Amino acid sequence: TTVAVEAYLIDDTLEVAVTVRTKMRAAKLRIFKMLLVGPGWGRISPKTAETIAVTVGDEAPFPTTMGSKTEMKIITGTPTKELFRFEIPPAKMLPGGNYRIWVDVQNREGQDKGRIQRFKFDLKNLTQLISD
């Protein structure tokens, strides 16, 4: 399973586009839970979520990290893409805090039916972007 995250800050709203792919053709994945986590905030659930229709040929390559090695890859397989919007409370933000996006993905079919995988992504320099 591969998860790609694109995050955009617009005023006090963080828009996060999540693309999930699997190499197994029979697997049907769904984004089970999406959270924004950080000091002063705790865990924030998205305000809105919408599914984006995607075909395998639509996606551009994105950086894939395995250990210390990063490569640009196009992942084949069953795509799932959703757009989430979070309302950020800037007053509760702590300077220098480590803010993250957590994506929980659940397989609905196949060998790993019901299993949930968690992927974590750091939001570097988020406090600087909001304070500017």
Per-residue pLDDT of 57-84, as tens digits, reads: 556 677 777 778 888 877 666 677 888 9
* pLDDT over 70 (residue 25): no
Q: How many domains does the chain have?
A: 1
Q: Which domain holds residue 60?
A: 2-131
- Rg (C-alpha) for the chain, rounded Å, is 16
Expressed in angstroms, the distance from the first to the final Cα of the chain is 36
Burial class (CB in 10 A: 0-12, 13-18, 19+), 93: middle
pLDDT, tens digit, for every residue of 70-127?
A: 888 776 666 778 889 988 887 888 888 888 999 998 887 766 677 888 999 998 888 7
Place of tokens 């894939």: 64
CATH number of the domain where residue 64 is located: 2.60.40
Q: What is the pTM of this model?
A: 0.72
Neighbours of 35 (CB within 10 A): 19
* pLDDT over 90 (residue 15): no
